[in-house]
Amino acid sequence: MAFSDFSLTVLGSRGSMAVGGEQCASYGGDSSCYMVRAGEETVFLDAGTGICAAPSDYPKDPVVLLTHLHLDHIVGLGMFPALSNRQLRVKVYVPFCRTREEAEESLGRIYAPPFWPVRLTEYASSPELLPLPDHFTLGALQIDAIPGNHPGGCMVFRLRHEGKSIVYVTDYEYEESSFERLVRFAEGADLLLFDAQYADTELPAKHGYGHASAGQGIELMERSDAKRLLLIHHDPRSFDRVLAQRETLLTHKKVEYARTGQRIVL
Ligand SMILES: [Zn+2]
Ligand SMILES: [Zn+2]
């Protein structure tokens, strides 16, 4: 591995609920998780079921950034292989809390009996659960977080490394002032990930559900001058046939629907 690389691998891009079977063999059925490698740093954006298939080689202790605590974004954490590796010390950054105690309490509502057999802090890697700062650095990687617009809240991340950047906008519903903030936040991004759970035509019927469409992602890409757009958070009912058909409607060369296993080098 060349440690100067900056890359993103899709481990799961299904939204709301993981799905399985041949009908999603092409785009994948695992829920939200993206692995970013930046030099020696490894960062997981969300911990849906996709994180269960995370690799085991880490030059440095891996970090998990959670955008929010909806189940499709945390349900894989209990089976994240690194948590059971005592050679590693995993850090999990938890949004909407101010202290370690609040971070532990937050995830401990699900990761504790009777919902799960053990608490996350009892795993072999003794993971640290920490409040998510608005801005922090991991080696040469800079991370910024701002709120998006989603029921209960959801954070948007920008990761910068050696002049390149990735912006991760999942679980976002259009609303004018937050969209203007996103346009500025995503300015010049090399790779933009954007919630396209619904077709543009479905949006009126899905008002208040907290998700967006490909058309809104393209608008954000164009207005922020982002270079490439990966559409994510596929609806559990949008199987391969639906996504492939939607993809044929995309006229922009640099726009595509994410597929599990896909790796983008920046
Ligand atoms: Zn979600
Ligand atoms: Zn959500």
Can you tell me the mean pLDDT for 80-104?
97
Query: So what's the pLDDT on residue 4?
Result: 62
User: Sign of the CA dihedral 236, 241, 244, 250?
Assistant: negative
pLDDT surpasses 70 at 2: no
Separation of CA 16 and ligand 1 centre (Å): 5
Distance 162 CA to ligand 2 centre (A): 31
170 Cα–ligand 1 center, Å? 7
DSSP result, 77-113: GGG-GGGG-TT---EEEESS-SSHHHHHHHHHTTSST
What's the mean per-residue pLDDT of the chain? 96
Distance 48 CA to ligand 1 centre (A): 9
Residue 3 has pLDDT above 70, yes or no: no
Residue with structure tokens 């993981």? Answer: 18
Inform me whether the pLDDT recorded for 208 exceeds 60. yes
* CATH fold for domain 6-263: Metallo-beta-lactamase; Chain A (3.60.15)
CA 14 / ligand 1 centre spacing (Å): 8
C-alpha 68 to ligand 2 mean position (Å): 7
Q: Where are the domains of the chain?
A: 6-263
Which residues line ion ligand 2, judged by CB < 5 Å?
70, 171
Q: What integer pLDDT is reported at residue 1 of this predicted model? A: 47
> How much distance in Å is there from the Cα of 173 to the middle of ligand 1?
11
**CA 14 to centroid of ligand 2, rounded, Å:** 12
Q: Determine the distance separating the centroid of ligand 1 and the alpha carbon of 190, expressed in angstroms.
A: 23
Distance from the alpha carbon of residue 169 to the mean position of ligand 2, in angstroms = 11
Residues with Cβ < 8 Å from 87, sequence gap 6 or more? 125
**Long-range CB contacts (within 8 A, 24+) of 77-81:** 77/47, 77/51, 77/107, 77/111, 77/120, 78/111, 78/116, 78/120, 79/51, 79/52, 80/44, 80/47, 80/51, 80/52, 80/54, 81/52, 81/54, 81/56
Question: How do residues 94-108 score in pLDDT, each as one tens digit?
Answer: 999 999 999 999 999
Ligand nearest to the CA of 195: 1
Of the pLDDT bands very low, low, confident and very high (cuts 50, 70, 90), residue 92 is very high
Whether residue 235 has pLDDT greater than 90: yes
What is the Å distance from ligand 1's center to 100 Cα?
Answer: 24
**Does residue 213 surpass a pLDDT of 60?**
yes
